[in-house]
Each structure stands twice: as structure tokens, then as C-alpha cells.
Amino acid sequence: MTTEELIQLLAQYPGDLRVMVQGYEEGYDDLEAGRVVAGEANVKRLGFAPSKEEKQ
């Protein structure tokens, strides 16, 4: 997902709605700015598998 796609998605919701992410073991956690990973280099460094689109 690109930042533009994320902005468009979030624009559909009220501005005061909490943004949650899947928790480490189970449940959900609040999204914190320090947990956001941006950029292809960071994703590769953290060892995430590329999506189907990235492989092509």
C-alpha cells in the first residue's frame, strides 16, 4: 500500500477515529508514529517478504 492509498482509505473515516494495528501476540494495539516503517530499504532490512506486485 502506498501513502496515497492509505490517505484515501483513512479519509473515509472520522478524523477522531483511533487507528489500530494487529498486536504482537493477539488483539490490537494503537498505531504509534515510532512503529511506522516507511520506504523499501527499511522493509527489506526488516525481512518482510515482498508482495506479488513487488516480485514482478
32-55: per-residue pLDDT in tens? 877 777 666 555 555 555 666 655
Q: Which of 34, 8, 30 is nearest to 19 (CA)?
A: 30
- Cell 506486485, residue? 53
Residues 6+ apart with CB under 8 A from 54: none
Q: How confident is the model at residue 14 (pLDDT cuts 50, 70, 90)?
A: very high
- Which residue(s) pair with 28 in the sheet? 22
Cα(36)–Cα(19) distance, integer angstroms: 12
Say if pTM beats, i.e. exceeds, 0.85.
no
- Cell 502506498, residue? 2
pLDDT the model gives residue 36: 73
